[in-house]
A and B are shown apart, each in its own frame.
Chain A
Amino acid sequence: MEKIKEVVLPDGEVLMEDILSKYPPKVAKKRNKSIVFNDPSRDQPIQSNVRTVPGIITQRGCCYAGCKGVVLGPTRDIINLTHGPIGCGFYSWLTRRNQTRPGPEGDNYMPYCFSTDMQDDNIVFGGEKKLKEAIQEAYDIFHPKAIGIFATCPVGLIGDDIHSVAKEMKEKLGINIFGFSCEGYKGVSQSAGHHIANNQIFKHVVGLDDKKKKGKFLINLLGEYNIGGDAFLIEDLFERCGLTLVSTFSGNSSIEQFANCHTADLNLVMCHRSINYVADMMEKKFGIPWMKINFIGANASAASLRQIGRYFDDKDLSRRIEKVIAEEMPAVEAACKEVMPHTKGKLAMIFVGGSRAHHYQELFAEIGMRTIAAGYEFAHKDDYEGRKVLPNLKVDADSRNIEELVVEKDPERYKLRKTQEELNKLEKIGIRMKEYDGMMPEMVNKSFVIDDISQHETEMLIAKYKPAVFCAGIKEKYTVQKSGVPMKQLHSYDYGGPFAVFKGAVNFYREMDRTINSKVWGLIKPPWDSNPEITATFVLE
Chain B
Amino acid sequence: MNTTATKNPCKLCAPLGASLVFKGIRGAIPVLHGSQGCATYIRGYFISHFREPVDIASSNFVETTSIFGGEKNLCEALENINRQYNPEVIGVATTCLSETIGDNVPLFLNNFLKKKGSEPFPDIIFASTPSYSGSHIDGFHAAVKAVVEYYSHFRETADLLSARGREGNSVAVLPNFVSPEDIRHLKEIILDFGVNPVFVPDYSQTLDGVSWNKYEKIPEGGTSKEELLSLRKVSSVIELGNSLNEKDSAGKFLESEVGTKRHGLGLPIGIDLTDDFFNSLKIISGRKIPDKYIAQRGRLVDAYCDAHKYLFGKKAVVFGDEDMVVSIARFLCETGIIPVLCASGAQGSELKKALQQLSMEYKNKIVIRTKADFVDIEEEAVALKPDFLIGNSKGYTLSRKMGVPLIRVGFPVHDRFGASRISHLCYKGTQELFDRIVNTIIAKKQSESAAGYTYM
Q: Is the CB of A113 within 8 A of B215?
A: no
- Report Cα–Cα, A184/B51, bound state, in Å: 26
Whether A404 is near chain B, meaning CB under 8 Å from some CB there, is: no
Whether B96 is near chain A, meaning CB under 8 Å from some CB there, is: yes
Which of B5, B66, B95, B101 is A134 in contact with, Cβ under 8 Å? Answer: B5
Whether B162 is near chain A, meaning CB under 8 Å from some CB there, is: no
- Besides A90-B11, A119-B133, A474-B47, 19 more A-B contacts (Cβ < 8 Å) are A24-B79, A24-B83, A52-B60, A54-B57, A54-B60, A55-B59, A58-B36, A60-B40, A61-B40, A81-B5, A91-B44, A92-B41, A115-B7, A117-B5, A133-B5, A137-B4, A186-B63, A188-B62, A401-B63
- Report Cα–Cα, A471/B213, bound state, in Å: 21
- Report Cα–Cα, A57/B15, bound state, in Å: 17
Whether A319 is near chain B, meaning CB under 8 Å from some CB there, is: no
User: A475 with B79: in contact, given A85-B131, A116-B5 (CB under 8 Å)?
Assistant: no
B48-84 at interface with A (beta carbon < 8 Å): 48, 51-66, 73-74, 76-81, 83-84
A70-116 at interface with B (beta carbon < 8 Å): 81, 84-93, 95, 111-116
Q: Is the CB of A474 within 8 A of B55?
A: no
CB distance from A22 to the nearest CB of B (A): 7
Q: Which residues of A contact B48 (CB under 8 A)?
A: 474
Q: Which residues of A contact B357 (CB under 8 A)?
A: none
- Report Cα–Cα, A58/B44, bound state, in Å: 12
Whether A445 is near chain B, meaning CB under 8 Å from some CB there, is: no
Q: Which residues of B contact A481 (CB under 8 A)?
A: 211
Q: Which residues of A contact B38 (CB under 8 A)?
A: 62, 87, 184
Which of A137, A138, A152, A475 is B44 in contact with, Cβ under 8 Å? Answer: A475
- Report Cα–Cα, A52/B42, bound state, in Å: 18
B213-233 at interface with A (beta carbon < 8 Å): 213-217
Q: Which residues of A contact B266 (CB under 8 A)?
A: none
Q: Is the CB of A62 within 8 A of B36?
A: yes
Whether A154 is near chain B, meaning CB under 8 Å from some CB there, is: yes
Which of A65, A111, A137, A484 is B397 in contact with, Cβ under 8 Å? Answer: A111
Which of B7, B51, B57 is A112 in contact with, Cβ under 8 Å? Answer: B7
Q: Which residues of A contact B93 (CB under 8 A)?
A: none
- Report Cα–Cα, A59/B39, bound state, in Å: 9
Q: Is the CB of B77 within 8 A of A55?
A: yes
Q: Is the CB of B132 within 8 A of A123?
A: yes
Q: Which residues of A contact B62 (CB under 8 A)?
A: 51, 185-188, 398
- Report Cα–Cα, A92/B80, bound state, in Å: 29
Show 16 residue pairs from A and B whose CB-CB distance is below 8 angstroms, ordered by the A residue.
Answer: A53-B76, A55-B80, A58-B40, A85-B130, A91-B41, A93-B9, A114-B5, A123-B130, A141-B7, A153-B66, A154-B97, A154-B132, A157-B101, A475-B47, A477-B47, A477-B51
- Report Cα–Cα, A61/B65, bound state, in Å: 17
Q: In this complex, which of B8, B31, B52, B132 has the most chain A Cβ atoms within 10 angstroms of its Cβ?
A: B132
A380-399 at interface with B (beta carbon < 8 Å): 397-398
- Report Cα–Cα, A415/B326, bound state, in Å: 65
Q: Which residues of A contact B397 (CB under 8 A)?
A: 111
CB distance from A399 to the nearest CB of B (A): 12
Q: Is the CB of B80 within 8 A of A115?
A: no
Which residues of A are at the interface with B, using a C-beta cutoff of 8 A?
22-24, 27, 51-65, 81, 84-93, 95, 111-120, 122-123, 130, 133-134, 137-138, 141, 152-154, 156-158, 183-188, 190, 397-398, 401, 455-456, 459, 462-463, 474-475, 477-479, 481-484, 524-525
CB distance from A74 to the nearest CB of B (A): 18
Which of A51, A55, A141, A398 is B31 in contact with, Cβ under 8 Å? Answer: A55
CB distance from A4 to the nearest CB of B (A): 24
- Report Cα–Cα, A61/B36, bound state, in Å: 6
Whether B254 is near chain A, meaning CB under 8 Å from some CB there, is: no
Q: Is the CB of A24 within 8 A of B80?
A: yes
Q: Is the CB of A113 within 8 A of B211?
A: no
User: A54 with B77: in contact, given A86-B135, A482-B211 (CB under 8 Å)?
Assistant: yes
Q: Which residues of A contact B196 (CB under 8 A)?
A: none
CB distance from A230 to the nearest CB of B (A): 21
- Report Cα–Cα, A61/B9, bound state, in Å: 21
Q: Which residues of A contact B454 (CB under 8 A)?
A: none
- Report Cα–Cα, A483/B8, bound state, in Å: 37
Whether B6 is near chain A, meaning CB under 8 Å from some CB there, is: yes
User: A115 with B5: in contact, given A185-B62, A398-B62 (CB under 8 Å)?
Assistant: yes
Q: Which residues of A contact B8 (CB under 8 A)?
A: 93, 112-113
Whether B3 is near chain A, meaning CB under 8 Å from some CB there, is: yes
Q: Which residues of B contact A116 (CB under 8 A)?
A: 4-6
Whether B166 is near chain A, meaning CB under 8 Å from some CB there, is: no
Which of B6, B54, B64, B76 is A117 in contact with, Cβ under 8 Å? Answer: B6
Q: Which residues of A contact B51 (CB under 8 A)?
A: 477-478
Nearest B residue (CB) for A475: B43
Q: Is the CB of A185 within 8 A of B13?
A: no
Q: Is the CB of B97 within 8 A of A185?
A: yes
Q: Which residues of B contact A474 (CB under 8 A)?
A: 44, 47-48
Q: Which residues of B contact A51 (CB under 8 A)?
A: 60, 62
Which residues of B are at the interface with A, using a C-beta cutoff of 8 A?
3-9, 11-16, 31, 34-45, 47-48, 51-66, 73-74, 76-81, 83-84, 95-97, 100-101, 130-133, 135, 209, 211-217, 397
Nearest A residue (CB) for B82: A55
Nearest B residue (CB) for A529: B213
CB distance from A250 to the nearest CB of B (A): 20
Q: Is the CB of A123 within 8 A of B53?
A: no
CB distance from B423 to the nearest CB of A (A): 22
Q: Is the CB of A86 within 8 A of B11?
A: yes
CB distance from A265 to the nearest CB of B (A): 38
Top-5 shortest CB links A-B: A62-B37, A87-B13, A55-B80, A55-B77, A134-B5
Q: In this complex, which of A115, A122, A475 has the most chain B Cβ atoms within 10 angstroms of its Cβ?
A: A475
CB distance from B369 to the nearest CB of A (A): 15
Nearest B residue (CB) for A116: B5
Q: Which residues of B contact A60 (CB under 8 A)?
A: 36, 40
- Report Cα–Cα, A194/B44, bound state, in Å: 20
CB distance from B358 to the nearest CB of A (A): 28
CB distance from A20 to the nearest CB of B (A): 13
Q: Is the CB of A27 within 8 A of B80?
A: yes
Q: Which residues of A contact B41 (CB under 8 A)?
A: 61-62, 65, 87-88, 91-92
Q: Which residues of B contact A141 (CB under 8 A)?
A: 7
- Report Cα–Cα, A53/B397, bound state, in Å: 39
- Report Cα–Cα, A122/B5, bound state, in Å: 13
User: A157 with B42: in contact, given A85-B132, A114-B5, A482-B215 (CB under 8 Å)?
Assistant: no
- Report Cα–Cα, A133/B38, bound state, in Å: 26
Q: Is the CB of B97 within 8 A of A59?
A: no
Q: Which residues of B contact A185 (CB under 8 A)?
A: 34-35, 61-63, 65-66, 97
Q: Which residues of B contact A88 (CB under 8 A)?
A: 13, 37, 41
Q: Is the CB of B15 within 8 A of A525?
A: no
Q: Which residues of A contact B96 (CB under 8 A)?
A: 84-85, 87, 118, 123, 152-154
User: A22 with B132: in contact, given A52-B60, A61-B41 (CB under 8 Å)?
Assistant: no
User: A479 with B53: in contact, given A63-B37, A86-B135, A474-B47 (CB under 8 Å)?
Assistant: yes
CB distance from B212 to the nearest CB of A (A): 5
User: A64 with B37: in contact, given A184-B97, A185-B97 (CB under 8 Å)?
Assistant: yes
Q: Which residues of B contact A482 (CB under 8 A)?
A: 53, 209, 211-212, 215-216
User: A87 with B83: in contact, given A111-B397, A398-B62 (CB under 8 Å)?
Assistant: no
Q: Is the CB of B31 within 8 A of A184?
A: no
Nearest A residue (CB) for B135: A86
Nearest A residue (CB) for B59: A54
Q: Which residues of A contact B216 (CB under 8 A)?
A: 482
- Report Cα–Cα, A88/B79, bound state, in Å: 28
Which of B57, B97, B211 is A484 in contact with, Cβ under 8 Å? Answer: B211
- Report Cα–Cα, A473/B83, bound state, in Å: 25
User: A53 with B80: in contact, given A86-B13, A90-B13 (CB under 8 Å)?
Assistant: yes
Q: Is the CB of A95 within 8 A of B44?
A: yes
- Report Cα–Cα, A61/B45, bound state, in Å: 13
- Report Cα–Cα, A401/B216, bound state, in Å: 39
Q: Is the CB of A184 within 8 A of B132?
A: no
